[in-house]
């Protein structure tokens, strides 16, 4: 068990006073068997006129802020402390029917998985299909776990990572053609490639813990929010795959939100009333630290009431 802290700060600046519209924030990690939220605080300047919490269709916790008056700056600071439990090595406890590709999901699963299996991006020329099919053995069985790990590492090794602050996500074909992309582009490519093979896949946004250099670990994507994907495997459920770093399983990954598409899991988005030229930009910083090992106590828990 590891105790991790996250300090995530986002600041928007404006050349002239503007009136802020509604802002939606997906910043509170999802409680699960492998991560448990201990403390959480959300500080917003200027203070919202109203702040309310909801759960969206994917059961993500969303904070919605409404503002009054004008300001030249919006600052959002999210601080969390959580327990994180990860296996040292990925382990696929697959049902017998899913050990080899291809396999079929149960009829009872299909109504809930159908939209996660459905292709979300056009591939009229079949370029993505041809690309992903190269990882499937011809004439002999293909182990499901080996197939997905190979796909994860192929994206990591064959493409060039770039931090990109521009809004939006590249299409899978744009990422394949340019041979470069951000973590959200990589996640989208892997999701759509997995869907082309008939897997159910969904997008994950959250944070990445980058161990110290002394540990020998090297991750890219730290210092900001991170993105990866999950694939549903019978017997294991939703399994994490981070093609940016070649991570399989939840090691060093802090899950905040899940969705069918990257557009549904933006950590912070909103609007303002003013001139386009008033916007001076956004600055984001994320610091994820590991606390010294200790036994957690119930007194450590200090959740923000949703």
| CATH class assigned to 2-84+265-293 | mainly beta
What is the tens place of the pLDDT at every residue in 38-59?
999 999 999 999 999 999 999 9
pLDDT above 90: percentage of residues in the chain: 83
Q: How far apart (Å, rounded) are the C-alpha atoms in residues 59 and 61?
A: 6
Q: How far apart (Å, rounded) are the C-alpha atoms in residues 27 and 39?
A: 13
For the record, the structure tokens of 89 come out as 């090595």
State mean pLDDT over 194-198: 98
Q: Residue 303 pLDDT > 50, yes or no? A: no
- % helix / strand / coil in the chain, to the nearest 5? 20, 40, 40
CA distances from 226 to 133, 147, 265, 276, 282 (A): 27, 24, 11, 28, 17
State mean pLDDT over 10-19: 97
The predicted model scores a pTM of 0.90
Q: Residue 298 pLDDT > 60, yes or no? A: no
For the record, the structure tokens of 187 come out as 């996640």
What is the tens place of the pLDDT at every residue in 164-181?
767 789 999 999 999 999
Question: Where are the domain boundaries for CATH 2.60.40.2250 in the chain?
Answer: 2-84+265-293
State mean pLDDT over 189-201: 98
Peptide bond into 40 cis (omega under 30): no
Query: Strands 201-208 and 226-233: what pairing?
Result: antiparallel
Question: Where are the domain boundaries for CATH 3.10.620.30 in the chain?
Answer: 96-264
1, 265 Cβ separation under 8 angstroms: no
Could you say which architecture CATH assigns to the domain 96-264?
A: Roll (3.10)
What is the tens place of the pLDDT at every residue in 220-271?
766 789 999 999 999 999 999 999 999 999 999 999 999 999 999 999 999 9
Please report the pLDDT score of residue 86 as a whole number: 81
């Amino acid at each position: 068990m590891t105790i991790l802290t996250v300090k995530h700060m986002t600041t928007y600046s404006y050349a002239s006073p503007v009136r802020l519209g509604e802002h939606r924030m997906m910043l509170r990690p999802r409680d699960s068997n492998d991560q448990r939220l201990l403390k959480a605080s959300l500080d917003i300047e200027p203070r919202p006129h109203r702040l309310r919490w909801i759960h969206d269709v994917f059961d993500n916790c969303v904070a919605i802020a409404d503002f009054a008056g004008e300001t030249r700056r919006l600052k959002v600071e999210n601080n969390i402390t959580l327990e994180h439990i990860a296996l040292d090595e990925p382990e696929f406890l697959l049902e017998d029917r899913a050990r080899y590709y291809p396999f079929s999901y149960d009829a009872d699963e299909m109504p809930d998985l159908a939209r996660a299996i459905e292709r979300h991006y056009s591939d009229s020329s079949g370029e993505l299909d041809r690309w992903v099919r190269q990882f499937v053995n011809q004439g002999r069985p293909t182990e499901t776990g080996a197939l997905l790990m190979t796909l994860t590492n192929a994206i990591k090794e064959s493409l060039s990572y770039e931090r990109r602050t521009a809004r939006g996500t590249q299409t899978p074909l744009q990422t394949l053609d340019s041979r470069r992309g951000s973590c959200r582009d990589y996640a989208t490519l892997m999701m759509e490639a997995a869907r082309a093979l008939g897997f159910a896949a969904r997008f994950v946004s959250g944070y990445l813990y980058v161990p110290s250099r002394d540990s020998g670990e090297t991750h890219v994507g730290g210092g900001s929010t991170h993105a990866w994907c999950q694939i549903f495997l019978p017997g294991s459920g939703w399994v994490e795959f981070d093609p940016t770093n070649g991570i399989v399983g939840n090691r060093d990954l802090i899950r905040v939100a899940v969705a069918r598409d990257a557009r549904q899991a933006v950590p912070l988005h909103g609007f303002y009333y003013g001139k386009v030229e008033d916007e001076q930009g956004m600055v984001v910083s994320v610091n994820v630290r590991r606390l010294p090992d200790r036994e957690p106590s119930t007194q450590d828990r200090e959740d923000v009431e949703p």
